[in-house]
């Protein structure tokens, strides 16, 4: 992972596997206890982060958990909306050289979360969004690999309908929903419906994750699809 983040132009990475739990009020929270944690950040920074309980006041983590797409952040992230603890955490990170970064949370069907962050001194250019998309795929594969190593999650083959496979295949080729609609001679709305149904069957929460699962499943033995006549969705 260190070589990968260097190739992407970042100076450090951190990954944490988070398991769901509940606090005394019955509200869902996520804890890293007992889960895998990987990082090539300075150990002094890691100890500083833990000793100051920054994990409870990290606005990047809080914002990332509330969405499915990668989050690009910098010194002014959520400025004006941060608590005192969050202000202190971001100021501390800035002093330690964690001034810009990208973070994403990967959600698995078992309820675990994988949080991957790459950090840099300066913003890393990504004019066409390709770097962000690549980072998302890396995070998905890292999380699933880590969970498989821990025995926390075993990916089972899922039977997908022919059209669901078609839209995932073309999505893997980088096609947009509109382009896929033209290729398959169906509506964009129908394409999005197939993507949504595939995501539900695969137990994932983003199209990128669905495509990654689709590609991983292609390498596994076992049934991958329904007969073409089994898909009766109206187009």
Domain match, 166 and 52 both: no
| 147-186 residue pLDDT tens | 776 655 555 667 888 898 889 889 888 889 999 999 999 9
pLDDT by residue (tens digit) across 9-48?
999 999 887 765 554 444 444 444 444 578 899 889 988 8
Residue 157 lies in a domain: no
Determine phi and psi for 207, rounding to 5 degrees: -65, -40
Specify whether 79 is located in the same domain as 24: yes
128 and 216 fall within a common domain: no
**Structural domain of 202:** 162-230
The CATH number of the domain holding residue 221 is 1.10.10.10
Of residues 198 and 30, more confidence is placed in: 198
Cut 0.75: pTM above it: no
Measured CA distances, 77 to 8, 72, 104, 125 (Å): 21, 9, 15, 17
């Amino acid at each position: 992972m260190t070589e990968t983040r260097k190739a992407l132009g970042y100076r450090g990475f951190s990954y944490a596997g988070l398991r769901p739990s509940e606090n005394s009020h019955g509200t869902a929270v996520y804890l890293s206890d007992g889960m895998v944690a990987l990082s090539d950040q300075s150990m002094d920074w890691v100890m500083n982060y833990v000793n100051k309980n920054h994990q409870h006041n990290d606005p990047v983590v809080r914002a990332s958990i509330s969405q499915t797409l990668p989050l690009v952040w910098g010194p002014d992230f959520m400025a004006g909306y941060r608590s005192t603890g969050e202000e202190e955490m971001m100021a501390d990170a800035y002093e330690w050289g964690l001034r810009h970064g990208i973070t994403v949370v990967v959600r698995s069907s078992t309820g675990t979360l994988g949080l991957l962050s790459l950090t840099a001194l300066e913003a890393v250019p990504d004019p066409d969004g390709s770097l962000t998309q690549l980072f998302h795929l890396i995070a998905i594969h890292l999380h699933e690999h880590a969970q498989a190593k821990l025995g926390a999650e075993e990916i089972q083959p899922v039977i997908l309908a022919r059209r669901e496979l078609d839209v995932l295949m073309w999505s893997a080729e980088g096609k947009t929903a509109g382009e896929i609609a033209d290729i398959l001679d169906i509506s964009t709305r129908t394409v999005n419906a197939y993507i949504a149904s595939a995501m539900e069957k695969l137990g994932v929460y983003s199209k990128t994750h669905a495509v990654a699962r689709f590609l991983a499943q292609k390498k596994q033995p076992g049934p991958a699809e329904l007969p073409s006549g089994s898909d009766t969705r109206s187009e």
